[in-house]
Amino acid sequence: MVSVFRSMGLRASGAIVALALVSGCASITDHRGYLMDEALVASVQPGIDNRDSVRGALGQPTLTSQFGDPVWYYISSQTEQAPFNTPDIFQHSVLAVKFDAAGNVISAERTGIERIAHIDPDGDKTPTLGRERGFFDDLFGNIGRVGALGGSGGGAGS
């Protein structure tokens, strides 16, 4: 009888360990940016709405254009991250609301993940102009330069 309970306990503990391992490998989904409400987004109409009505319906934009025609951007992303990896975007949406000089909506365009630019940085160092400095140049580079900036060797009062 004791051996039956012991084998059932081993099975249960094995199942719990297996469940913990499987759930630990599950990916994590996260939302970043603006929470899009499809009904409110569809309610923005060119020629009818203005800045105040768009702000009232959609809220503050994620960012605004700094140059050119005034454009408000509402940006939303869904990411998925496997354990020990960087997050990947699997759903992305940008609503660009363009205004004329009077503040009336000209257009409301929506784009998706197809417009994301995937860049690959070249190397892990930023190239800089100038001479290459080594460890010993950094360590001993200022020896002999102390006081050389003053010119004539005088103090602060000369």
- Look up the CATH number of the domain holding residue 33: 3.30.1450
Q: Answer whether 0.75 is exceeded by the pTM.
A: no
Q: Residue 71: its pLDDT value, please?
A: 95
Q: Residue 98: its pLDDT value, please?
A: 96
Which residues, other chains included, contact 58 with Cβ-Cβ below 8 Å and sequence gap of 6+?
Answer: 40, 41, 44, 74, 95, 97
Residue 3 falls inside a structural domain? no
Q: How many domains does the chain fold into?
A: 1
**CA 61 to chain CA centroid, nearest Å:** 16
Residue 66 falls inside a structural domain? yes
Residue 143 falls inside a structural domain? no
Q: Residue 146: its pLDDT value, please?
A: 67
Residue 43 falls inside a structural domain? yes
Residue range of the domain that includes 75: 26-115
Give pLDDT tens digits for 61-103. Answer: 999 999 988 999 999 999 999 888 888 888 899 999 999 999 9
Residues belonging to the chain: 158
Nearest to 96 by CA among 112, 73, 69, 67: 73
Name the stretches of the chain with pLDDT < 50.
Answer: 4-5, 158
Q: Residue 63: its pLDDT value, please?
A: 94
Nearest to 95 by CA among 38, 47, 48: 38
Q: Residue 119: its pLDDT value, please?
A: 78
Query: Which residues is 157 bridged to in the sheet?
Result: none
Residue 2 falls inside a structural domain? no
Q: Residue 40: its pLDDT value, please?
A: 92
Residue 152 falls inside a structural domain? no
Residue 154 falls inside a structural domain? no
Residue 148 falls inside a structural domain? no
